[in-house]
Structure 1
Amino acid sequence: MVLDQADIVVVGGGIVGLTTAHALKQRGFDVLVVEQRFTAFGASGRNSGGIWVQTVRGGTELQLARQGAELYERFLDDLGDTFELRRDGGLIYFETEDQQKVFADYVADRREHGVQAELISAAEARKLSSGVPASAIGAVFSGDDAQVNTAKFTRALGDACKRRGVRIYENTPVLGMTRHGDAVTGVRTVRGDIAAGGVVWCTGAWASTLSSEGIDLPITPIRVGMLMTQAVSRQVHVVTRGPGGVENFGALSSLPSFEPTLFATPGLEEGSHLTYEDIVTQNAEGNIIIGHTHDAAQSLNPHITVEATSLMIQSLQRRDPSFRTLGVTGLWAGLVGVTADRLPIIDKVDGLYVNSGHVAGTASGPLAGELMAQLVAGRTRPSRWNRSLATAKRSRSRCSETGLPDARESQ
């Protein structure tokens, strides 16, 4: 049975999928989106909303985060003030003098890369966030960081796409692709076949299912856990992180002075498969969001584990004593697709356009959609972002030596 046809089918209704659809529609393509559940079902609707610029490595990774953050400002013109964009900055506190020495090197490195960063006292940090515990002796603050409600952004963008004529099929899992020779000519779904001139795969962790199509991407699913409390008056004015889990901060962990043993996570048992990025933030409704845990997902199962839940509760109890009496109103996990070098795959692989592997998709997602639209429209070639892409089975990567294109040039 034939369900529909379009110039381009985008698979996935998260940030990356919908920004891709939006950018393609702006270029005059007839675009259709298929989503297995509903928009923002995956990690796009299950995260803390931090747009972290200060923590990413220099070069392409930093450029992705910076330009992605800038594009949120432009979406304000299109979507209105509907997704809680706040440019109040972000801070990372530390608890020992040895950690402070590493963070001093970190601040110097960030400034060399043009990132705003400064060491501040613990008292100054607590004025910005009650999520800074009594154990903190200081912090690093960056005004380049920001925050957004990604679930609201994704849904508002979906509505904007519909108004412009993009057809969005929710509750429509894709069963496979259709091909004509080397070209991908559409998808097979539970509701029927969709014919297209091209298919863009934007499914995050679910990109691992492409192995059934003979395309093995170097993407590992990671389950990211979060906990949300009842609403309270404004207490966390900037996105806040602790020293736990800093091995995931490329800009810090790549420093010569970095030593993992200096940043052990309290409450995390030796040999545990979990890591923990100790984040606390607050949304516009006043809910405090705690997290997040990372554990290697053995399947595409988004349910949070008991161990991860316990770790987040311990973190909550170590913070401001008033947090301990708050009611828990939300507990969830989102699945993220991670590459070995933490850079996304934005390329054409065996006839299929792939836009996936966004470990920091809140920051990079808007730019990734724009860059994929440029690729589909033939205006630029993909950049050499993901060295591990060369290991993808049947990959025909066309790598540019010129670096990351500036999406602003096409605006």
Structure 2
Amino acid sequence: MSADTLATGDIVVIGAGIVGLCTAWELRKRGFDVVVVEQRFPTYGASGRNPGSLWLQTRRTGDELSLAKAGKEKYQDYLSELGDVFDYRNQGGLFFFESEAQGRVLEDYAADRRAAGLDATLISREEAQKHCSILPDGALGAVFCADDAQIDGVQFVNALASACVRAGIRTFENTSVLSTLRNGETVTGVRTVRGEIHASGVVWATGAWSTNLRAEGIDVPIGTARVGQMLTQPVDTHLNAIMHGPRGVYGCGALTDLPTYDAAVFPRPSSSSAGKGPGGTSGSSFVDYDDSIAQNRGGSIFIGNSFDGRGSLNPHISINATNAMVSTTLDRYSTLAEYGVTGLWAGLGSETSDNLPIVDRADGAYINVGHAWGIASGPICGQVMAEVIAGEASVFAGALKMNRPALRVAGE
């Protein structure tokens, strides 16, 4: 080993979020000598800045829903391998409505979800309250899906990081990768700020930062966004279902694809300042909203998600995004006005035009990126990436290729 060599292995995985660590774990199970490199520490990025919701009901019928189902099932393997250390809860999910017009669309949505094989039913407000004690006062009813679930993402990633170390996976934190090492067209490792890591395979599991691969000639077809969240002081310690509201349905393809869906019936939050620049001029700092509400084990409420800052790697939450979450919460929960905000942050997310991740070989390396709903897709795509590298048959690999038709059309 030369003086500037930090480590050697079969595969180096870049990124210690949920996608990178699940990939490393699956590769190690197959006998690979794996090295993980992380620019900061596990859970620093989007993997540690989300409520851990495992939504199935909002996923489109087809590959999207099938992948989400497989992701949920994959957590059963992790429960067996890691133990019950990441607060897996299958309390179901409520998609509530606040107007009769929304209710009529959600009635069609419930029927569509049942046709897709999910346990989904349109229920009254009284029935919905039995599943969630913090149902907003203005909710008239909801679609309840018993298949939706929740984990603690921080606990999961940290538990998996520790398990990876015990399994012999070497992890280098606070170590930024500078470039890929190549011998002609062959990738031979990566160059980091601490030295070179030599390996016969490199997996990029770097989320939004995968856009930096364009400097190496790898044009990964993903977009980036700043995904905002707010966390309150503990409110209620019941084990509640996760919730989705009608004031922002970004990413809910199963709903927005319905023939009866009307965007005017499901408007996103707005305020006098949102979308305005200095002097009231039009701006673009607030773009979209995903109206999610969930609780952690301690009873604190996760509120969000806002989506803005597209195309940027700026992680700082905007005032407009903060205002959208605060104003929506005050409108629904006036009694929470005196409660403290214990967390207000944004994580950098990546997404694709068809809402499916990319798991493929690219220019001599491998990529596992574009996880807009990574709590569900991360574990199963770690398996898919390992299957691709090991040359095994894979159920999902064909649908997740970088050159799939949906992405080619979107980029034209």
TM norm structure 2: 0.92
Aligned partner of 2:371 in structure 1 is: 358
Report the alpha carbon displacement of residue 259 of structure 1 after superposing the two structures with TM: 1.1
Aligned partner of 2:289 in structure 1 is: 276
Report the alpha carbon displacement of residue 265 of structure 1 after superposing the two structures with TM: 2.3
1:177 paired to 2:180:
yes
Letter in 2 for 1:52: W
> Which moved further from structure 2: 34-43 or 260-269?
260-269
Partners in 1 of 2:331 and 2:152 — Cα distance? 26
Give the conservation status (yes or no) of the 8 Å contact 1:199–1:353.
Answer: yes
Question: Out of 137, 140, 152, which is 1:137 matched to?
Answer: 140
Partners in 1 of 2:202 and 2:408 — Cα distance? 21
Question: Out of 216, 226, 230, which is 1:227 matched to?
Answer: 230
Give the conservation status (yes or no) of the 8 Å contact 1:302–1:334.
Answer: yes
Q: How does 1:288-307 map to 2 (within 5 A)?
A: 288-307=301-320
Q: Deviations over 1:328-374 (max 9, x none)?
A: 11111111111011111000011110100011110011000001000
Give the conservation status (yes or no) of the 8 Å contact 2:42–2:161.
Answer: yes
Question: Out of 256, 263, 268, which is 2:266 matched to?
Answer: 263
Partners in 2 of 1:21 and 1:211 — Cα distance? 24
Q: How many residues are paired up?
A: 393
> Which moved further from structure 2: 199-208 or 92-101?
92-101
Q: Deviations over 1:48-103 (max 9, x none)?
A: 11000010001111111001001112211111111111000000111111111111
Q: Deviations over 1:298-323 (max 9, x none)?
A: 42121111111111111221223332
User: Share of identical aligned residues, percent?
Assistant: 49
Aligned partner of 2:278 in structure 1 is: none
Report the alpha carbon displacement of residue 391 of structure 1 after superposing the two structures with TM: 7.7
1:146 paired to 2:146:
no
Give the conservation status (yes or no) of the 8 Å contact 2:229–2:344.
Answer: yes
Give the conservation status (yes or no) of the 8 Å contact 1:202–1:355.
Answer: yes
Partners in 2 of 1:391 and 1:2 — Cα distance? 42
Question: Out of 375, 391, 398, which is 1:383 matched to?
Answer: 398
> Which moved further from structure 2: 267-276 or 310-319?
267-276
Letter in 1 for 2:405: R
Secondary structure of the 2:111 match is helix
Question: Out of 101, 105, 122, which is 2:108 matched to?
Answer: 105
Letter in 2 for 1:290: I
Aligned partner of 1:32 in structure 2 is: 35
Give the conservation status (yes or no) of the 8 Å contact 2:134–2:236.
Answer: no
1:316 paired to 2:329:
yes
Secondary structure of the 1:134 match is coil
Secondary structure of the 1:39 match is coil
Question: Out of 89, 93, 103, which is 2:92 matched to?
Answer: 89
Aligned partner of 1:159 in structure 2 is: 162
Report the alpha carbon displacement of residue 130 of structure 1 after superposing the two structures with TM: 3.7
Secondary structure of the 1:334 match is strand
Report the alpha carbon displacement of residue 241 of structure 1 after superposing the two structures with TM: 1.1
Secondary structure of the 1:28 match is coil
Q: Deviations over 1:132-187 (max 9, x none)?
A: 22222111000100001111101100000000000010000100101122221100
Aligned partner of 1:251 in structure 2 is: 254
Secondary structure of the 2:399 match is coil
Letter in 2 for 1:231: P
Report the alpha carbon displacement of residue 235 of structure 1 after superposing the two structures with TM: 4.6
* Unpaired runs of at least 5, structure 1: 394-411
Give the conservation status (yes or no) of the 8 Å contact 2:239–2:297.
Answer: no
Partners in 2 of 1:378 and 1:128 — Cα distance? 44
Letter in 2 for 1:387: P
Letter in 2 for 1:129: C
> Which moved further from structure 2: 227-236 or 134-143?
227-236
Question: Out of 36, 45, 49, which is 2:48 matched to?
Answer: 45
* Unpaired runs of at least 5, structure 2: 276-281
Report the alpha carbon displacement of residue 390 of structure 1 after superposing the two structures with TM: 4.3
Q: Deviations over 1:31-51 (max 9, x none)?
A: 000000001111000011100
Root-mean-square deviation (Å): 1.7
Letter in 1 for 2:60: R
Q: 1:232 to 1:384 in 2, by over 3 A?
A: closer
Give the conservation status (yes or no) of the 8 Å contact 1:18–1:157.
Answer: yes
Aligned partner of 2:279 in structure 1 is: none
Q: How does 1:362-377 map to 2 (within 5 A)?
A: 362-377=375-390
Q: How does 1:11-26 map to 2 (within 5 A)?
A: 11-26=14-29
TM norm structure 1: 0.92
Report the alpha carbon displacement of residue 211 of structure 1 after superposing the two structures with TM: 0.4
Letter in 2 for 1:357: G
Report the alpha carbon displacement of residue 233 of structure 1 after superposing the two structures with TM: 3.3
Partners in 2 of 1:56 and 1:392 — Cα distance? 20
Partners in 2 of 1:281 and 1:171 — Cα distance? 31
Letter in 2 for 1:291: G
Report the alpha carbon displacement of residue 325 of structure 1 after superposing the two structures with TM: 1.9
Partners in 1 of 2:407 and 2:256 — Cα distance? 23
